[in-house]
Amino acid sequence: MNIKPFILLFVFTFLMGNDPSYQNGVSAYNSRALNASGMLANPDQINLAINAFKKAQQNPNYELDAGVYLLQCYYYKGKFVAQEDDS
């Protein structure tokens, strides 16, 4: 029995299942404190993460995980980015 076709099928299936929006969101979320000044964070990375997770939520495979990350992003943005209560 030749196992090579099964390995190729597995790798192809794995690669097709990855959503770049979700991966980009995770990367941006993990970099959210980049260029922070004390307790005040730069909004660029967290805004990138929010936009990526909003897009990733459209994929049923990532809907729940992207939603959880999105909530964490909003919490982080409110806690460490917003300078005023009205922001």
Whether 68 maps to a domain, the answer reads yes
Whether 39 maps to a domain, the answer reads yes
Whether 9 maps to a domain, the answer reads no
Q: Which amino acid is at 32?
A: R
Residue 39 DSSP label:
T
Q: What is the pLDDT of residue 14?
A: 52
Whether 3 maps to a domain, the answer reads no
Range with the poorest average pLDDT among 14-18, 53-57, 72-76: 14-18
Range of the domain at 31: 19-81
- Confidence band for 50, pLDDT divided at 50, 70 and 90: very high
Alpha carbons 25 and 38: distance in angstroms, whole number: 23
Whether 2 maps to a domain, the answer reads no
Q: Which amino acid is at 58?
A: Q
The whole-model pTM stands at 0.76
pLDDT digits (tens, 9 = 90+) for 13-41: 454 456 899 999 999 999 999 999 989 99
Whether 47 maps to a domain, the answer reads yes
Beta strands in the chain (DSSP E): none
Whether 38 maps to a domain, the answer reads yes
Mean pLDDT (the chain) is 86
Whether 7 maps to a domain, the answer reads no
Q: Are 46 and 6 in contact (CB under 8 A)?
A: no
Number of domains, the chain: 1
